[in-house]
Amino acid sequence: MNTKALNSLADLILRAQGQDRTPMGIALAVDAAGRHMSPETAAELERLRAEVAELRAERHDTNEALSDAAEQLRANRDRLAELEALKPATIQTCRVCGAGYTYGKPCSTCEFRKRMAAEVAPLKGRSRLDASAAAAAQATHWRRLGVEDPHDSPLAHTYRVSRDLPPIGGATC
């Protein structure tokens, strides 16, 4: 029961009675004020009012969600513009091996590993190198480094005791 509406209707009837109106005159005054309706119409009116309230609440939620989405789009647009303005550093980190390389060029560490794998692959079939091949490989290694093999040096000697040492037993020559 809506007491406010009933009080308003009672006030309308009281004013009509104060004007010495007949019951039909009072009914016409109620109808003119838009207060007369059937129970079905009143139920339909209440249902429509509830639906309007529900739609308004939904619109409010939709507007909030739309506003949040628009703010996120603006933030994404600004971040994208910021990232597009960045210039890459001249030294980059390789995503494969983690070494540093010059931007725009291949990673030298990865290239070295690929080359080594390609050169070592044919040798994997051999189980052992013979002695002469191993000695040749070691000599080539020393030559590449520019280091002289201490056993081939002019200062190398084959005797056991040095001439600079005194003789055994403390005797002098």
Residue pLDDT, tens place only, 27-51 = 777 766 666 666 777 788 889 989 9
CA–CA separation, 125 vs 5, rounded Å? 102
pLDDT computed for residue 112 by the predictor: 87
CA–CA separation, 60 vs 65, rounded Å? 9
13 or 145, greater pLDDT = 13
pLDDT at 68 over 80: yes
10 or 35, greater pLDDT = 10
Residue pLDDT, tens place only, 88-126 = 788 888 888 888 888 888 888 888 888 888 877 766 655
pLDDT at 63 over 90: yes
Mean pLDDT score, 70-99? 87
pLDDT computed for residue 51 by the predictor: 94
Report the mean per-residue pLDDT for the chain. 77
Beta bridge partners of 92: 101
Outline where DSSP puts E strands in the chain.
91-93, 100-102
CA–CA separation, 26 vs 153, rounded Å? 136
pLDDT computed for residue 57 by the predictor: 93
How do the domains of the chain map onto residue ranges? 3-85, 88-126
pLDDT computed for residue 115 by the predictor: 86
CA–CA separation, 107 vs 110, rounded Å? 5
Q: What global pTM score does this model have?
A: 0.30
First to last CA, the chain: 140
Which percentage of the chain shows pLDDT scores above 70?
67
pLDDT computed for residue 130 by the predictor: 64
